[in-house]
Chains A and B, each alone.
Chain A
């Protein structure tokens, strides 16, 4: 049986969590179909990282090249095309991340290999690949089958699989020569832009009131912020609020924002797309208010209220004030 490839994702020297999540699932699949798991590691000075990854896979293929210091989909595509054509893995797994999204679709197209993106589950049987992915912002799951092929490519959603820690497989590490001769011409990495410093640190707050699409007007924000203040907390939000420019991105909770773990998280008008949930699901207590009874947020909340948030906010605020006055 042909091997399974996992593309290691790393940034600024750090292997990203998604890599270990994919390796955990990859190992499970490899055992099921009686094959081996190979990690592909592209980068510069990757000795330490290769060592670590070898504990989670049967093999690590390393291409070390100064031109790979930072991610570049053009460089990655050339190297992976070469590797896939040569070794014909049954499956290549990449993260459904800013890197995987930039790389997988064009790689799959150039090699004429079927691709399924943003998968939350997958199954290989008789060289057929079936996948589960979500649609409509996480409100619907879809099971699909890929066109039968020699190889498949998938991108895997972050946190879809729980990474097993502490394996010691002592996989074999092989250094491969880089076929990149010159600098990339189409695409060039320039620099990272760090989020602006300062402002409120939502990761340090015990109480967060998160607002989302249910807020229709910037003028509605102060009344909700008052509720946050009454509770001794601060205001946080999901992506649409930042997109509209109503709150700075330092307040954004989720995969493209911050990960928070407050004692209390009140989600107001947040549907609970996985990108947001990823950033707040480990809060101690989650209370969600949403008009849609099937909103995915109710799958992570401890308590749910199916109601217009503006009916709940004023009553709750006065109740809390009342309660505080009794002390």
Chain B
């Protein structure tokens, strides 16, 4: 099985305080910690587990600037055999549609049985790269995947639906599968693994190498142009309880008592 896994280098924002830039066009990235997108982390693990079971190779691929090399190194340390970074200043402002086009140009001539992506990225959350890429590659796709079973040229996958329900779908390979979190347990990266990965090379390709033109990428090649970002207006704001932990605990206890909850 030759597996290609598409990964994205994103800021960790789940627990960080976010600030918007003065122009109101993006968030301030300084001070944020960047890492592999959480969904892609599971996709990478799934790729490595498939390779371990069936043999073959895993190629990690990303679109991003030099900083994204640390995410590729993590992939190599965790079991990917090759890494490719697609980069060009012209790629800035690309939405999921443009990103998928860029990925397509790099992947179309590589041998693959499965392309894995995360179901979505924690930054822009378009939830679209996988199926767009599949359409360009002219192969089938399935999204929100919680389980993969391979036999011959078909994959039997569990898709996560709403309310705890799943559906089982059979899909012909080669295919693009978008992975939901929780499908597996991403392995720990050892220092040794990272050191070894440092010796592996990352292939770097730009606009011209990929045979792309300027108007196919960036804002020009995207479906959406983001004009403004802002903190969501709150319809209602919690009443904040302040003071020492002791004070706060007392206030909550009183509140619960007053409502007959204790």
Q: Interface of A with B (CB < 8 Å)? A: 11, 16, 70-71, 73-74, 96-99, 101-106, 108-110, 114-118, 131, 133-147, 158, 185-195, 207, 213-214, 231, 239-240, 242-245, 249-250, 252, 255-259, 263-264, 271, 285-288, 291-294, 296, 298-307, 311-312, 314-316, 318-320, 322-324
Contact = CB atoms under 8 A, between A and B. Distances in A.
Contacts of A207: 261
B15 A291 contact: yes
Contacts of B89: none
Nearest to A242: B182
Contact of A135 (B100, B125, B167, B253): B125
A103 B234 CA distance: 32
B67 interface: no
Given A143-B226, A193-B166, A306-B240, 11 more contacts: A99-B161, A136-B123, A147-B224, A187-B170, A187-B171, A191-B167, A244-B182, A245-B185, A259-B163, A298-B238, A303-B241
Contact of A144 (B156, B225, B233): B225
B27 interface: yes
Contact of A303 (B181, B226, B252): B252
Interface string B216-253: 00000011111111111111111111000110111011
A135 B132 contact: no
B206 interface: no
B200 interface: no
A16 B227 CA distance: 33
Interface stretch (B53-61, B78-86, B106-114, B134-142): B134-142
24 contacts: A99-B161, A105-B96, A108-B223, A117-B125, A131-B224, A136-B123, A136-B125, A137-B125, A139-B13, A139-B18, A139-B232, A140-B232, A141-B230, A145-B224, A147-B223, A185-B172, A190-B169, A231-B261, A264-B256, A264-B259, A285-B259, A305-B241, A319-B253, A323-B257
Interface residues of B, number: 84
Contacts of B238: 286, 288, 298-304
Contacts of B136: 109
B253 A316 contact: yes
B36 to A, nearest CB: 15
A99 B162 CA distance: 10
B131 A231 contact: no
A300 B162 CA distance: 22
B27 A136 contact: yes
Contacts of B185: 244-245
B33 to A, nearest CB: 13
Given A98-B160, A193-B168, A303 B249 contact: no
B223 A146 contact: yes
Contacts of B15: 213-214, 271, 291-292
B72 to A, nearest CB: 23
A259 B49 CA distance: 34
Contacts of B131: 73, 101-106, 109
Contacts of A323: 253, 257, 262
Contacts of B168: 189-193
A213 B38 CA distance: 13
A252 B224 contact: no
Contact of A315 (B17, B234, B249): B249
B127 interface: yes
Contact of A101 (B127, B224, B233): B127
B165 interface: yes
A104 to B, nearest CB: 7
B241 A304 contact: yes
Contact of A263 (B143, B248, B261): B261
Highest count of chain B CB atoms <10 Å: which of A96, A114, A115: A115
B40 to A, nearest CB: 14
Interface in B66-96: 96
Highest count of chain A CB atoms <10 Å: which of B11, B224, B241: B224
B74 to A, nearest CB: 18
Contacts of A142: 124, 226, 228-229
Nearest first, the 9 closest Cβ-Cβ pairs linking A and B are: A304-B238, A243-B182, A315-B249, A195-B164, A186-B140, A114-B223, A105-B131, A105-B128, A109-B135
B232 A102 contact: no
Contacts of A298: 234, 237-238, 240
A294 to B, nearest CB: 6
A193 B161 CA distance: 10
Given A136-B18, A304-B241, A319 B123 contact: no
